C-alpha cells in the first residue's frame, strides 16, 4: 500500500470537508459502529470546530498516490475525558475500510502521538474487543467504562503514558 503522511491543518481539514465526510460515512457505517450518515456529519463538524478553535489541535492525514484521503487522526488537549487533569485526547482515528488491517491506522496513531508534549493521552471508544484489543496492543489500558447520556452502548476511556 502506498501512502504518505502529512499534517492535517485546520485549513486543510476545512478544504477536505467533503472527503472527510465520505471517509467517516464509509468507516462508521459498518461493524462495530453501525452509525447512520448523520454520525459522519457530527464527527466532521466536531473535528472542524476543534481544528479551528484550539491552538493545540493536531491532525495527520494519509494520502494515496493521487492525493486521495485514505485516513486521518486528530486530537487536542482537554479535560473532557479525564474530568480534571489536562491530557492529550486522541479524538479521531479513521481509516478507509479498503485500507483497514494494513498498518495505516497504526502509522496515523503513532504520527499523531509523537508530537504532543509529554503527559497522559486519553481516548474513548466503543467497549468491544476489536477496538479495545487493538488499542491495548498499541500500549493503551482501560481507565474506566462509561455509558454517555443518550447512548445505548458502553464505551471505555483508555489511557496511555508518553
Domain extent listing, the chain: 4-117
pLDDT at 19: 97
**78: CB partners within 8 A, 6+ apart:** 86, 87, 89
Helix (H) / strand (E) containing 144: strand 141-146
Phi, psi of 139 (to 5 degrees): 100, 10
* Residue numbers of the chain with a pLDDT score lower than 70: 1
Domain 4-117 has CATH 3.30.1310.10: no
Cα torsion at 99, 148, 112, 53 (round to 10°)?
A: 120
As a whole number, the mean pLDDT across the chain is 92
pLDDT at 48: 94
Place of cell 474513548: 124
Amino acid at each position: 500500500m502506498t501512502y504518505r503522511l502529512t499534517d492535517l491543518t485546520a485549513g486543510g481539514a476545512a478544504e477536505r470537508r467533503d472527503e472527510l465526510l465520505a471517509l467517516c460515512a464509509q468507516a462508521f457505517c459498518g461493524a462495530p459502529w453501525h452509525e447512520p450518515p448523520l454520525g459522519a456529519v457530527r464527527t466532521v463538524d466536531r473535528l472542524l470546530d476543534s481544528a479551528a478553535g484550539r491552538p493545540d489541535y493536531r491532525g495527520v492525514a494519509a494520502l494515496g498516490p493521487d492525493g486521495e484521503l485514505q485516513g486521518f487522526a486528530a486530537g487536542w488537549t482537554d479535560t473532557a475525558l479525564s474530568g480534571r487533569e489536562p491530557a492529550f485526547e486522541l479524538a479521531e482515528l479513521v481509516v478507509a475500510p479498503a485500507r483497514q488491517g494494513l498498518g495505516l491506522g497504526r502509522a496515523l496513531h503513532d504520527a499523531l502521538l509523537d508530537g504532543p508534549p509529554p503527559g497522559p493521552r486519553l481516548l474513548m471508544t466503543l467497549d468491544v474487543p476489536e477496538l479495545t484489543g487493538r488499542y491495548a496492543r498499541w500500549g493503551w489500558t482501560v481507565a474506566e467504562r462509561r455509558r454517555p447520556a443518550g447512548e445505548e452502548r458502553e464505551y471505555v476511556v483508555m489511557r496511555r503514558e508518553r
